[in-house]
Amino acid sequence: MTIQQFYRTLTFIDELDSTLGLQTSLDLIAQTLTTLVNTPNQPPLQSALASALAKFSSAAEQLDKLISPSRAAIIAEMGGSEFFDPAIAERVDASISKNAMTPSVARDFVQELATGRRAFLDTARKTIQGLETLGVKVATLEPGSADLEFLIPRELFENHLGKFAKELTFINRLIEHLSEGITGNAEPVKVEALSSSVPSIGVAAGLAVVATLATVVNKFLEAWERIQKLRNVRNDLAELNLKGTNLEELTEEITTTVETVVEESTQLVLSSYQGEPSRKNELENALKQDTRRLFGQIERGLTIEFRAEPKPNQTEGDRKALTTISNLGQRMTFPERSQEPMLLESGQVVEGDIATFTHSTKSTTHKSTTSRKSKESKKETT
């Protein structure tokens, strides 16, 4: 994780617990259980315990909605997954129900959980203070705005500066093509933040552009589940030495699934195109190429984080865009980096261009594209 992700996650944890009151409710349950052990058969205490449990359960139910998969992974990496698990209330309730005749056992369980959770929160808060004292700052979103951050694993560019530059060039080209397709003009891409620990770049773009990219990425991630299942079946058949039509059909289905998402994504971007009609076909081809490469890079480990900050009295269009960004950003789960990528091989990335694929229902052909500038350069050197 980057230092920015680390800081944002720590502040998120602190604010989330304060908003939901999870630790306060858990401490109350622990205190009530202690009193019950010391003075059993007290109806008011039983009622207070039931009330505290209900409040704790209601707050815990919100965790699944408020913690995105990517943020949950970072919390787990910090060692706090059990303290922000949506099932935490179920565990507490189960312990109390199971040990109704021996409440001291339930008391010890809840006390241990509450103590560990409180220590984790205290550490998080002290770390926030320490980072702020050391001058660590994270860009905050203005109300009514959104941004996105690309996390580029070093395996994508093998720690080579030139290859890393190509990744940045691709991101710039992707956002420019998206903005041109949506607004009719290729807007400059503004850098918000850079990090080198896990190479990442935060960029700002128009709400419609960010919302559309979030939708495109989500389309692919949803399709990826089907692709993975097809791929697993194909691998199983290959291990059984079953060759021929079955494997070919599965490979064809995988390719068709990807190409369908590429086509749907491209048409989504161009659905309200307002630019020069003569430019549309050229832009459509560029978007297909960009989208295909984006999916290939995601398979090889690229991840994208989307953030949105709503504000009152927004236009209907802005409100919808921010809602889309927020909702999709919360639920996106990126695949683990594939050891055997199939959508985009590193050899297909040449001087910022990638190989293109012409797909039919029966076959997939492959040809390399070279820019006019590259051809002219070759002529000059001969």
Query: Could you report the per-residue pLDDT of 90-113, keeping only the tens digit for each?
Result: 999 999 989 877 889 999 999 999
Decide if 272 contacts 211 (C-beta within 8 A).
no
| 72 vs 92 pLDDT, higher one | 92
Q: Look at residue 43 in the predicted model and tell me its pLDDT.
A: 74
Q: Is the pLDDT of residue 48 over 90?
A: no
- What is the per-residue pLDDT across 249-275, written as a single tens digit (0 to 9) for each? 887 888 888 899 999 999 999 999 988
Q: Nearest CA to 73 among 150, 126, 149, 9?
A: 9
Judged on CB neighbours under 10 Å (0-12, 13-18, 19+), 274 is exposed
Which H or E run includes 22?
Answer: helix 22-38
12 SS3 class: helix
The CATH class of 3-133 is mainly alpha
The partner residues of 304 in beta bridges, in order of sequence, read 150
- Parallel/antiparallel/unpaired status of strands 349-350 and 364-367: unpaired
The label of the residue with tokens 């979030």 reads 214
Nearest to 164 by CA among 187, 196, 139: 196
pLDDT score of 182 more than 90 = yes
Rounded CA gap, 250 and 227, in Å? 10
CATH 1.20.120 domain span(s) along the chain: 3-133
- pTM confidence score: 0.69
> What's the average model confidence in pLDDT over 1-9?
80
Token representation of residue 365: 């052909």
Quote the CA–CA distance of 34 and 44 in Å, as a whole number.
Answer: 14
CA–CA dist 100, 109 (Å, integer): 13
Query: What per-residue confidence (pLDDT) applies to 139?
Result: 67
Average pLDDT of span 207-211: 94
